[in-house]
Structure 1
Amino acid sequence: MDRLAKQFLEEDAANKELYVQGIIFKNDRVLDVLNQKFNDYLFRIKLYSYIRKSIVFAAMDIKTMESEIREKEGLYLNVLDADFEEERINTIADAPMDFIEEIYGDKENIDYREIFADKEVLQAIETLTDRQKQIIHECIIKDKEEEMVAKELGITKQAVNKIKQAALNKLRKEVGGK
């Protein structure tokens, strides 16, 4: 409080004069005026402090909201065009992609360890012929129709079905199922 009183007296020369008249010469009327001016000074200090803190907290809230929005929206592609001082939208070329083909695309060497974690199943798959592995992969893992697999391999649908059933029976036997 001592620091505030010093600042109050230094703020205006009239305040020093009121202080001298009120405190030193014991003038009650001047003391009341001094007291009122000091209370006004304190009110201004508190008001300024309140406004300052409000601005700081509002700025912090805005910064938090902006970072949350930035996290949700990802990268912001718009840039300020130096020539026109306007925002310009940058774009990323979007190449068309067949997601089904991307997911189920043919792989040269199929690693069944990526598909199956059970060692017993992996050992059972290794007992199959290459043709059986190919048909099981196409029909079961890629979920293709037997007719489509038959067309791709140049054999009949019945041959695909026969090879698939033989492979499944062999897998059941190896794993110990019915």
Structure 2
Amino acid sequence: MTYKRPFDDEIDMLSLREEFLVYLHQSESCEQFYNYMKSEQLAPVLEFYLACDGLKNLTDENKSQRTIIDLIYKHYLSTGKSLASKQFSLPYDLLHSIKQRLIKREYYSTFYEHAQEYVLKYMLQMCYPKFLVEQHNASVKKRQATDSSRFTPMHRCCITTKKKDVFDKFKQQTNK
């Protein structure tokens, strides 16, 4: 058994975080993760994260920021939020802080930064590890299906797909 120092978990979490953020910034992998989140009825969580990320990267004037901040709030956080985001909620203290800033009209590009960090931690702890396991299991099943189709019951040895096609044709002709 190897001895694990207390800060090793922090290092592991940091590397997982970096890996996940890189994963989200690649369109194909982000789409795969989005489909997974959708299948788990958690798509609004990822959508909220991505909307906040887009807000942080917005270079337009303050008016656009205010509009986007309001839209994010109405769609994901307000009591009258859309049906798509009914399952999505933040802890009371975060939601209260956001409401207070909205009342004071304190609009800035990092408006949802704490909420986004909360959602990121949730995805890192609950969603991404399960997604990785599911991806791994799917690739194993795919590999097993591919490997098993290359073996003939008669020979139990690996043959090329073309040889298998020829063999199958031969079997069909003998059955006539």
TM-score for both structures, normalised by structure 2? 0.29
Q: Which has the higher contact order (CA 8 A, sep 6+)?
A: 2
Q: For the pair shown, which has the larger CA radius of gyration, 1 or 2? A: 1
TM-score for both structures, normalised by structure 1? 0.29
